[in-house]
Amino acid sequence: MTGAASLAVTGLVAGYGGVPVLDGVSITARPGTITAVLGANGAGKTTLLRTISGFVRTRSGEIALDDVSLARLAPDRIARAGVAHVPEGQGVITELTVEENLRLGLLLRPRADRGAALEDAYRRFAILGERRRRLAATLSGGERQILVIARALLSAPRVLLLDEPSLGLAPKIVAQVMDLVRQLRDDSGLTVVLVEQNARSALAIADRGVVLNLGKIVAEADAAELAADVGLRRHYLGF
């Protein structure tokens, strides 16, 4: 790991077709913190992550990893710059084995480090070690989520973008995944941008939170402050 970086999004306008989904969004994720991005369906949370990682074109505004501009770069270049994006629900390649999926994460590392990094991952995620030869299609939803996060970590990212890691998982597994994200910040000092519908779980581990509504930021504060704001919770966060 080359050290955590800050990710700064400034005045971002982006979207599909005619109408912009993101309308002047600015967010700063400080190094070694978790920033929760919250909001209802259609608020633009996933589009924000997809724009940062280059799958949706930036129309105007700036995206910077430390002082390197990422806006309008191709997705593979953004990945090589150190941004790992764990997409919503479907990041596992089911036709490949667990180990092959993990090896994809290793492609960005120097060859000499790969073996040790993979063994580390198996030590940390024992379940993946046990199933390394099996097709990823045979994993449960929770195991797949662990697999995609483990794979993202193997690429030694400087910023981790997580899109709805709790989606479709049982509450107990959600707690485990959130715990894992917290550990990544505490132990590895990773910068995390966490998109969640499950605002309560996300704010429990986040340092900062922003609330998106219809492509604009309607609130931004320390996570504890957002969690304590009853009006905001009722209006936008649903808990």
Partner 1 sequence: MQEFVEFTLGGISDGVIYAAIGLSLVLIWRGTRVLNYAQGGMAMFTSYIALVIIDAGGSYWLGFVVALATGLVLGAVLERAVVRPTIGKPPLNAVIVTIGLLILIEGVAGIIFGSRNRSFPTPFSIVGAKIGTFDLGPGASPSAFFAAGAVLAAAVLLALLFRYTSVGLRMRASAFSGTVAQLMGVRVGRITTLGWALAGLIGALAGMLVTPQTFLYPNSMDSIFVLGFTAAVIGGLDSPVGAIVGGLILGVLLNYVTGYVGSNLPELAGLALLILVLMFRPSGLFASTATRQV
Q: Which of residues 105 and 215 has its CB atom nearest to partner 1 in the complex? A: 105
Q: Which residues pair with 38 in a beta bridge?
A: 196, 211
Residue 121 CB, nearest approach to partner 1 (Å): 14
How far are the Cα atoms of 84, 122, 156 from residue 111, in angstroms, in the given order?
19, 18, 13
Structure tokens belonging to residue 85:
């994006």
Q: Which of residues 76 and 113 has its CB atom nearest to partner 1 in the complex? A: 76
Residue 152 CB, nearest approach to partner 1 (Å): 8
How far are the Cα atoms of 1, 69, 138 from residue 82, in angstroms, in the given order?
9, 12, 30
Residue 74 CB, nearest approach to partner 1 (Å): 8
- Please calculate the CA angle 18-22-27 and round it to the nearest 5 degrees: 160
Task: Write out the residues near partner 1 by the rule CB under 8 A.
Answer: 53-55, 74-76, 79-80, 84-85, 87, 90-96, 100, 103-105, 107-108, 135, 137, 151, 155
Q: Which of residues 111 and 172 has its CB atom nearest to partner 1 in the complex? A: 111
Residue 228 CB, nearest approach to partner 1 (Å): 36
Residue 170 CB, nearest approach to partner 1 (Å): 22
Helix axes 111-124, 98-106, angle to 10 degrees: 130
Q: Which of residues 8 and 135 has its CB atom nearest to partner 1 in the complex? A: 135
Q: Which of residues 33 and 155 has its CB atom nearest to partner 1 in the complex? A: 155
- 193, 49 Cβ separation under 8 angstroms: yes
- Please calculate the CA angle 38-105-94 and round it to the nearest 5 degrees: 80
The count of other CB atoms within 10 Å of the CB of residue 64 is 16
Structure tokens belonging to residue 199:
């605002």
The b/e string for 176-188 (b: 16+ C-beta within 10 A; e otherwise) is ebbebbeebbeee
Q: Which of residues 8 and 108 has its CB atom nearest to partner 1 in the complex? A: 108
Residue 77 CB, nearest approach to partner 1 (Å): 8
